[in-house]
Amino acid sequence: MVKNRCYDADCDKDNCHNPEHYNYICFDPNCDEIKCNDSDHYDKQLLRDYQKNTDLSVYDHGEEIDYDEDVDISLCGCPDCADDHDHDHDHHHDHSHDHHEHDEDDSCSDESCSCHDHDEHDHHDHDDVDISLCGCPDCADDGHEHGHGDEELLAEGKPLIANRPIQIIVSSGILFVLGHVFEWLSFSPAVVTIIYMLGALIAGYEIAVLAYNSLVKRHTVGPAMLMCVACVASFIIGHPEEGAAVTFLYYIAEFLEDYAEHRAKRSIKSLVEIAPETARVKLNDSEELRNVDDVDIGEIVIVKPGDKVPLDGEVVLGSSSINQSSITGESVPVLKETGDEVFSGTVNEDGYLEIAVTKKAKDSVISKIVTLVKRSQLNRSETESLVEKVAKYYTPIMMVAAICVALIPSFVFGQNLVDWVYKALSLLVISCPCAFLISTPVGMVSAITSATKNGVLIKGSTYVEEMRDVKAVIFDKTGTLTEGKLILSDVEVLDENFSKEDIIRIAASLENQSSHPIAQAIVNYATVNGIKFSEINDFKNVPGKGIVANIGEEQYYAANESLIEDGSFEVSRDEINRYSAEGKTIVFIGNSKNVLAIITVSDKIRPNAHEVISDLKEQGVQTIMLTGDNKLAAKSVASEIGMDYVYSNLMPEDKLNILDTIRNKFGDVAMVGDGINDAPALARANIGIAMGAAGSDVAIETADVALMQDDISKLPYLFTLSRKTMGIIKQNITVAIAVKLLCVILAILGIITLMMSVGFGDLGLTMLVILNSFRIGMVKDPLF
Which residues neighbour 649 within 8 Å (Cβ) at sequence distance 6 or greater? 4, 7, 8, 9, 561, 562, 628, 629, 630, 631
- Cα dihedral sign, 288-294-298-302: positive
CA gap 457, 455 in Å, rounded:
6
CA gap 510, 526 in Å, rounded:
12
CA gap 361, 311 in Å, rounded:
6
- The edge-to-edge listing of strands for the beta sheet with 313-317 is 286-291, 278-283, 300-303, 353-357, 313-317, 341-342
Of 702, 664, 698, 671, nearest in space to 687 by CA = 671
CA gap 247, 239 in Å, rounded:
13
CA gap 556, 537 in Å, rounded:
11
CA gap 514, 539 in Å, rounded:
10
- Point out the residues that are catalytic: 476
Cα-Cα end-to-end distance for the chain: 48
* Phi–psi pair at 591, nearest 5 degrees: -125, -165
Which residues neighbour 569 within 8 Å (Cβ) at sequence distance 6 or greater? 1, 590, 594, 595
CA gap 595, 588 in Å, rounded:
7
Give the type of residue at 493.
V
**Residue 598 Cα distances to 470, 500, 580, angstroms:** 41, 10, 12
CA gap 431, 70 in Å, rounded:
36
Tally of CB atoms within 10 A around 285: 5
Give the three-state DSSP class for 634: helix
